[in-house]
Structure 1
Amino acid sequence: MTAVLSLAIFVVAFFFIATEKADKTKVALVAAGLMAVLGLIPGTEVFFSEHAGVDWNVIFLLFGMMVIVGIIKQTGVFGYLAIWAAKRAKGRPYRLMVMFMTITAIASPFLDNVTTIMLVAPVTVVVCNRLRIPAQPYLIAEILASNIGGAATLIGDPPNIIIGSRAGLTFTDFLVHMAPIVVIVFVAFVLFTRLLFRKSFRYHPEHVAAVLALHERRAITDPRMLRRCLVVFAAVVLCFGLHSVLRSSSS
């Protein structure tokens, strides 16, 4: 009976989330509350059980990522990178898509991929509008590239930290075993987009000047904060690496 009720709650919640007939946050909270109220998950285990309760590793990872991204967003670095990529692509649609996907895929292993897209997408739309080309294919490609790149590290995506905490995997474990596969999949995806979005790659040389006129340095709104963010970010990555090495050597 317990299994049937749990499955029913999951199916109903999944239906409302997938169809977007109700607010996703409310659906998740109501489903979690029903699980606790009906005794499907003992109340004492909701917040404290390592396996059945709230995964605090994921909660604090997301919280930390939101703080980091909120600060980085104020520096304008993603706008700088997007404009720089557009100018290097010289308005060539496929080359532009590859540049945007590469930036997104490189950022996603270290920042939450959802927030990465939220920072890259607005600039993508601006550049596409300047070139008079549809932005939808570029946004779709960036989203998929973000999901691919985020799988490379332990902190690249919430499911990664869930798997890592349950399986006892370190940052190095994820990086060594996942990064090579991610690189191969990403290269294959880049080649696939050439075929998938071939009808969208329309080159308009008369609109290239509008993109070349953009100044990427003006996108940097706070250089001092950007330098501080880079130092802190490098220190965090170094700490993760040292922790993984020490944990591997001790085991």
Structure 2
Amino acid sequence: MQERGQRMSTTIAILIFLISYFFIMTEKINRALVALSGGALLLLLNIYEWEDAFVDFIDWKTIALLFSMMVLVSITKKTGLFEYIAITFAQKVRGEPTSLLIGAGILTAIGSALLDNVTTVLLFVPIILTLTKLLQLPAFPYLLTIIFSANIGGTATLIGDPPNIMIGQAVDHLTFVSFLTNLGPVVLIIFTCMITSVVFLFRKKLTYSKGHVRELMKMNGEEYLKKTPMLYQSITVLLLTIIGFILHPIIHIDLTTIAVSGALLLLLLTEKEAGTEKVLQEVEWITLFFFIGLFMLVGGLEKVGVIDELAKGVMWLTEGDLPKTALLILWVSGIFSGIVDNIPFVAAMIPVIREFQSYGMANLDPLWWSLALGACLGGNGTLVGASANVVVAGLAEGSNQRIPFIRFLLYGIPLVLLSLIITTVYIYVRYLIPFQQTL
């Protein structure tokens, strides 16, 4: 009887997830409403309790980090700083659309590696949306490039993407330098392939009017700056927050704590000029509630054991063989991370990979690198595959530049497949051939 009940719960959780995912893809109903409704159904049908949802499944640290960065960006936006940066950047490349695209990709990738990809897109998307509007360029190629660059760049370092942070916390000897030296080379290859492909695919749309460029070159970016105390307060607090992120491995203060502290400090400093109520009205609440709903949906799969079974299945298929296990982890995590948020999958895989030590595996590093690469790069597959994707989609929608789910899919899936093929070769050549030679 208990086994039948478990099977029923598993079937219900999978069905609710698939139906919710279908409606998120079709975009007929607001995605936050769909995700939250799916989560509410799981509660109504007793798949899990409110306590499970609030304590175990909803990642409040991610929600708080996003909220804090949205507050920082919202206040900073009022100073005209983003318009100033956008105009200066566009004038440096003389409004040339292709140079603008490549520059946006490079800056996003570097920012995502040094900070984290969510923070980077929150800072950079408003600038790109300002630029594309100014030069009358299609926003989609630039937003696509920012998402891809954020996930690829974030793969390179310990703090760039949540899965890497989780792996770094679980494995003491994997440091910031370890991630950079082991993942950096393949990230550079994949980024080069991605940016070349995007430029080629959108080359016919990356045209510009000489009239718009003349108007751009006449503009004085400083005129957009509102040189009030709020400008200097915003820049100072934003820089302090970013420095805090960079120093995270040294000062050992949680990224979310740094972001929340920065947001509260800036709200206190600018209360009279910006107004807390007005700032909070501009927060992308739809994006935050979509995240909460998504965590609840994935939590349903976690509760009934789907994610754990998937992780164990990987190990059962490979029979403890290191080369097979490494490549299977890479592909399973890459494909799975395109469908759901990669955080729960990585959380389930970490203890399973640790178990391999009991099978006599002395060096588990190839498995950790496979998990990190698959989980981070797989996030480019769909619009809900990674936190950065959801944030960019929310910011774009707020500026009437909605990114269609299916249209993103048509570019995301081929990129993920290409990334996984390149990564397979890299892992095999760098780690698995030397391992086989020692046998």
- In which range does the TM-score fall when normalised by the shorter chain? 0.7 to 0.9
Letter in 1 for 2:237: R
Partner SS state of residue 39, structure 1: coil
2:130 is the counterpart of 1:123: yes
Letter in 2 for 1:233: I
Shift in alpha-carbon separation, 1:201–1:161, aligned structure 2, 3 A: closer
Quote the Cα distance in structure 1 between the aligned partners of 2:24 and 2:175.
Answer: 31
> Which of residues 244, 247, 251 in structure 2 aligns to 1:238?
247
2:232 is the counterpart of 1:228: no
Residue by residue over 1:112-133, the C-alpha shift from the partner in whole angstroms, topping out at 9 and shown as x without a partner, is 255346413431223322xxx5
- Residues 86, 128 of structure 2: 8 Å contact kept: no
Which position in structure 2 is the counterpart of 1:12? Answer: 19
Partner SS state of residue 199, structure 1: coil
> Which of residues 202, 213, 218 in structure 2 aligns to 1:208?
213
Residue by residue over 1:218-245, the C-alpha shift from the partner in whole angstroms, topping out at 9 and shown as x without a partner, is 343324431332133213431344429x
Deviates more, 1:6-15 or 1:185-194: 185-194
Quote the Cα distance in structure 2 between the aligned partners of 1:238 and 1:13.
Answer: 39
Letter in 2 for 1:60: A
> Which of residues 38, 45, 54 in structure 2 aligns to 1:31?
38
Letter in 2 for 1:237: I
Residue by residue over 1:134-156, the C-alpha shift from the partner in whole angstroms, topping out at 9 and shown as x without a partner, is 44433433343334334445665
Residue by residue over 1:80-103, the C-alpha shift from the partner in whole angstroms, topping out at 9 and shown as x without a partner, is 332122111123232122123233
Quote the Cα distance in structure 1 between the aligned partners of 2:138 and 2:36.
Answer: 37
- Residues 98, 190 of structure 1: 8 Å contact kept: yes
> Which of residues 72, 97, 102 in structure 1 aligns to 2:101?
97
Which position in structure 1 is the counterpart of 2:53? Answer: 46
Which position in structure 2 is the counterpart of 1:62? Answer: 66
2:10 is the counterpart of 1:3: yes
- Residues 93, 202 of structure 1: 8 Å contact kept: yes
Partner SS state of residue 47, structure 2: coil
Shift in alpha-carbon separation, 1:71–1:106, aligned structure 2, 3 A: farther
Letter in 2 for 1:94: T
Give the deviation of 1:5 after TM superposition: 0.6
Letter in 1 for 2:195: V
Percent identity, aligned pairs only, is 31
Partner SS state of residue 55, structure 2: coil
2:153 is the counterpart of 1:149: yes
Shift in alpha-carbon separation, 1:78–1:175, aligned structure 2, 3 A: farther
Give the deviation of 1:77 after TM superposition: 3.3
Quote the Cα distance in structure 1 between the aligned partners of 2:41 and 2:164.
Answer: 25
Give the deviation of 1:15 after TM superposition: 1.0
Shift in alpha-carbon separation, 1:66–1:229, aligned structure 2, 3 A: same
Any gaps of 5 or more consecutive residues in structure 2?
1-7, 254-439
2:191 is the counterpart of 1:191: no
Which position in structure 2 is the counterpart of 1:85? Answer: 89
Any gaps of 5 or more consecutive residues in structure 1?
245-251
Quote the Cα distance in structure 1 between the aligned partners of 2:50 and 2:208.
Answer: 60
Which position in structure 2 is the counterpart of 1:72? Answer: 76
Residue by residue over 1:151-185, the C-alpha shift from the partner in whole angstroms, topping out at 9 and shown as x without a partner, is 445665xxx43674488458837656555443332
- Residues 97, 206 of structure 2: 8 Å contact kept: yes
Give the deviation of 1:12 after TM superposition: 0.9
* CA RMSD after TM alignment: 3.2
Letter in 1 for 2:219: L
Letter in 2 for 1:215: N
- Residues 82, 123 of structure 1: 8 Å contact kept: yes
- Residues 55, 162 of structure 1: 8 Å contact kept: no
Quote the Cα distance in structure 2 between the aligned partners of 1:64 and 1:175.
Answer: 27
Residue by residue over 1:25-57, the C-alpha shift from the partner in whole angstroms, topping out at 9 and shown as x without a partner, is 2222221122122221244423233xxx32233
Letter in 2 for 1:5: I
TM-score (norm 1): 0.75
Quote the Cα distance in structure 2 between the aligned partners of 1:114 and 1:231.
Answer: 18
Quote the Cα distance in structure 2 between the aligned partners of 1:177 and 1:35.
Answer: 41
Which position in structure 2 is the counterpart of 1:161? Answer: 162
Letter in 2 for 1:161: P
